[in-house]
């Protein structure tokens, strides 16, 4: 059930409530804890939240995904959730532009024992994506990279996902600026608008919006 306030955007959460729910439903083992604590490894604290990471893994398990592309690796927190969801026969290609982030992610993935299941592709996503196309079609694509290219990433996903494949896009509210005048905002709006051409989509109201879209048959 919802009330007018929650439908209008009010959220009934606070740090204490979120910490309790995270501890109960989204516990972190040693590998996830290390990847989540990005600042301790010299990286910014911009990884997905614990609930969002767990949700990614759950959605991919429900879908039975085996081949996934991720854009934006950071320290590998979401990559660990994705790789574990794929099982030993699956594979994740995750693209990271920053060399330091890519190195830290490789270390965390190796420490988690998932190096054979994950390939960290270093470089700009728009340059590396064509190299991945021979591995497709893919079961899922997760976007968490530079927001000004989400429209182009969405177009690539539409071409390279199998029918029924998942497109997941974090920061779909663009930090609250989705309806603003910045160039990034217009491109993010285009990403949303173009989804209807090839996908059945919903924007889940996580703290900054998470697009969950299924490619049409």
pLDDT tens by residue, 1-33:
678 888 888 888 999 999 999 999 999 999 999
> Would you call 164 exposed, middle or buried from its count of C-beta atoms within 10 A (0-12, 13-18, 19+)?
exposed
Q: Are 52 and 21 in contact (CB under 8 A)?
A: no
Query: Which SS3 state, helix, strand or coil, does residue 207 take?
Result: coil
pTM (2 decimals)?
Answer: 0.96
pLDDT tens by residue, 95-142:
999 999 999 999 999 999 999 999 999 999 999 999 999 999 999 999
pLDDT of amino acid 2: 78
Report the half-sphere exposure of 201 (CA within 13 A, side-chain side). Answer: 23
The torsion region of residue 199 among left (phi > 0), alpha (psi -120 to 50) and beta comes to: beta
Q: Identify whether 6 is part of a domain.
A: no
Q: Which residues share a beta bridge with 212? A: 168, 202
Which domain does 74 fall in, by range?
Answer: 14-215
CA distance 97 to 166: 23
Q: Identify whether 2 is part of a domain.
A: no
Q: What is the CATH classification number for the domain harbouring 70?
A: 3.40.50.150
Q: Identify whether 54 is part of a domain.
A: yes
Q: Identify whether 194 is part of a domain.
A: yes
Q: Identify whether 1 is part of a domain.
A: no
Number of domains in the chain: 1
CA distance 66 to 46: 26
pLDDT tens by residue, 160-201:
999 999 999 999 999 999 999 999 999 999 999 999 999 999
């Amino acid at each position: 059930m919802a009330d007018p306030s929650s439908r209008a955007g009010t959220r009934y959460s606070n740090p204490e409530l979120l910490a309790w729910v995270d501890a109960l439903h989204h516990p972190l083992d040693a590998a996830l804890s290390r990847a989540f604590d990005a600042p301790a490894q010299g990286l910014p604290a911009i990884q997905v939240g614990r609930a969002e990471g767990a949700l990614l893994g759950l959605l991919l398990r429900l879908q039975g995904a085996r081949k996934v592309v991720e854009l934006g690796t950071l320290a590998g927190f979401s990559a660990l959730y994705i790789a574990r969801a794929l099982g030993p026969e699956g594979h994740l290609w995750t693209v990271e532009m920053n060399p330091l982030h890519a190195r830290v992610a490789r270390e965390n993935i190796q420490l988690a024992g998932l190096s054979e299941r994950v390939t960290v592709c270093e470089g700009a996503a728009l340059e590396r994506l064509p190299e991945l196309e021979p591995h497709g079609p893919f079961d899922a694509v997760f976007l968490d990279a530079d927001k000004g290219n989400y429209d182009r990433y969405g177009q690539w996903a539409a071409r390279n996902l199998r029918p029924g494949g998942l497109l997941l896009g974090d920061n779909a509210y663009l930090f609250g600026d989705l309806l603003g005048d910045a160039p990034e905002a217009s491109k993010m709006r285009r990403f949303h608008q173009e989804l209807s051409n090839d996908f059945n989509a919903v924007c889940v109201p996580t703290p900054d919006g998470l697009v969950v879209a299924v490619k049409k048959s």
